[in-house]
Amino acid sequence: AMSPQGRVMPISVGGRMEKSLRKSFVPESWKSKWLIGLFFISLPLVPNLAWSAQPTVRIAQAVDALAFLPIYVARANGYFNDEGITLELIIVQGGGPDLQALIAGSVDFDATSTGGLLRTFSGGIELLGIHNVVGKCIIDLIIRQETAKRLGITPAMPVQEKLRRIKGTIVGASRVGSLSYQIAYFLAKEAGLEQGKDVTILGVGGGDSALAALKTGRIDIMSFAPPFPQVALKDGDAVSLVANSKGEYPKLNSFLQNVLLTRPDYAKKNPDMVRRILRAMVRGNRWVAENDAKEVAKVVSKFFKNTPADVLLNTVEAIKPAVVPDGRLTLDGLKGVEEVYRANGIIKKPVPWDRLVTNEFLP
């Protein structure tokens, strides 16, 4: 859902982007389609007659979802405006185009998954992580009621036993290669199951498409971030398989899911701007951590007008514990992501975290 205060217009991309796309790590299918989901949103957060004198900063965001809760709070509460910044937000439909926009210089910051940082590194490009947006895994897996009954899976069963029983099922993630896909792939592998042989993991699109596929039986299991698993559970269409948002799978308890990225050269040339952006972001983190979930849900509800109030509250309650108040990046959380992407075959060489992330710009 777009901010009700914003306006949408296409973003123009020059030769620099085209050159970057030709040389990038992004699959061919992304290169021809990424503009479809790319939106340019100008966000007048608080009326201010001095806007013309304020610098404009472009930030990309991988998806329009509450997995980036502190950013919605910072927007709603006017924290970027407080820093003298006019925010222009680009929202894409899944990670990939956002990273390309950052690499090409079309944006200077990108809120995305830590896995995106690892994918660019594996492709030979080093970006810089500067802020912890969501510091734990919140990708939940749920299973259709009918499939659970057939396989003898109950909510009270130990999670490893539940996973061992999903052989022969079809799992729906947002798209092949996405974070939701990687988590499902990892958990299946942990249970000794092979993708394409023992289980089938498919890309089914957005959360609404996944819910429809689950309801009609086209998929047995859904791997998604809140609020979509919570919606299916509330409607009685599914039971929980792995509740990562509640820390149910120990190996994913240290998993720094979402980060804010910039280019190393931009950070070096514009340290003051980076600090101003991060002051606004960290205020968002702290406000989420310090306030009741009901108040947080109320503040961000204007961005999610089509989401029922009870589902929005449940989503905020699921994500709130994952928001680190000071926004600091932790090595344990980063290594947790590395473990998943290494197990899945995405990362094969040592990861120089000291070059890829820093806390030096945080307040």
Q: Do the first three CATH levels of 7-136+255-356 and 140-252 match, i.e. the same topology?
A: yes
Calculated CA dihedral for residues 201, 205, 208, 210, nearest 10 degrees: -10
Spatial strand order of the sheet with 86-91 comes to 7-9, 39-42, 86-91, 56-61, 109-113, 258-262, 128-134
d(CA 163, CA 315): 24
Length of the chain: 363
Q: Which CATH superfamily is domain 140-252 in?
A: Periplasmic binding protein-like II (3.40.190.10)
SS3 53: helix
Query: What pLDDT shows up at residue 93?
Result: 67
Name 193's Cβ contacts closer than 8 Å, sequence gap at least 6. Answer: 163, 164, 166, 167, 199
Name 172's Cβ contacts closer than 8 Å, sequence gap at least 6. Answer: 201, 202, 203, 204, 210, 213, 214, 218, 219, 221, 222, 223
What architecture is domain 7-136+255-356?
A: 3-Layer(aba) Sandwich (3.40)
Q: Are 322 and 255 in contact (CB under 8 A)?
A: no
Pairing of β 200-203 and β 56-61: unpaired
Domain segments of the chain as ranges: 7-136+255-356, 140-252
d(CA 60, CA 106): 9
One digit per residue, the tens of pLDDT, for the chain of length 363 reads 333 333 323 333 333 333 333 333 444 444 444 444 444 444 444 444 444 468 999 999 988 888 999 999 999 999 999 999 999 999 886 667 899 999 999 999 999 999 999 999 999 999 999 999 999 999 999 999 999 999 999 989 999 999 999 999 999 998 788 889 999 999 999 999 999 999 999 999 888 899 999 999 999 999 998 888 988 998 899 999 999 998 999 999 999 999 999 999 999 999 999 999 999 999 999 999 999 999 999 999 999 887 889 989 988 998 999 999 999 999 999 999 999 999 999 999 999 999 999 999 999
User: 128: left (phi > 0), else alpha (psi -120 to 50), else beta?
Assistant: beta
